[in-house]
């Protein structure tokens, strides 16, 4: 089905208290970043947060499901999307637990 830009903007605004939140369209869906780390995906207008030990402890009994067929389970943020303080803390914890992103290799110059 795909996600709408308005939902992605809303979800990112709800977690904005965590820090610098950005998003990028990928394969018809969206990846959400906190300070340069992918912390969540939006698929079919549902917010999925990457599972980490700390995030699971904080989220308690949050459901887990794959964001796309064949994917690994992520934490599903349902009604808690309406709680920006809770969501910002979950995303902060998740980002803290994730490794730093690997540096990107520079692209070779295009031959003109």
44: which residues sit within 8 A by CB, 6+ positions away? 1, 2, 3, 29
The answer to whether residues 24 and 97 touch, using CB atoms and an 8 Å cutoff, is no
Question: Over 70: is that where the pLDDT of 36 sits?
Answer: yes
What does the domain layout of the chain look like in residue ranges? 5-97
Confirm or reject CATH 3.30.1460.30 for domain 5-97, answering yes or no. Answer: yes
For 7-11, 22-26, 55-59, 103-107, which range has the lowest pLDDT when averaged over its residues? 103-107
Q: How confident is the model at residue 112 (pLDDT cuts 50, 70, 90)?
A: low
**pLDDT tens track for 43-72:** 999 999 999 999 999 999 899 999 999 999
Rounded to the nearest 10 degrees, how much is the dihedral formed by the CA atoms of 93, 97, 100, 102? -120
Entry pTM? 0.88
* Comparison of pLDDT for 90 and 109, the residue scoring more: 90
């Amino acid at each position: 089905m795909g996600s709408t830009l308005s939902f992605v903007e809303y979800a990112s605004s709800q977690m904005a208290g965590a820090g610098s939140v950005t998003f990028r369209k990928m394969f018809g869906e969206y990846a959400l970043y906190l300070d340069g780390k992918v912390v969540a995906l939006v698929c079919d207008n549902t917010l999925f947060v990457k599972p980490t030990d700390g995030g699971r402890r904080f989220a308690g009994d949050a459901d887990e499901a794959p964001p796309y067929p064949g994917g690994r389970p992520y934490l599903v943020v349902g009604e808690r999307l309406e709680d920006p303080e809770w969501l910002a803390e979950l995303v902060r914890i998740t980002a803290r637990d994730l490794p730093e992103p690997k540096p990107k290799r520079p692209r070779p110059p295009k031959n003109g």
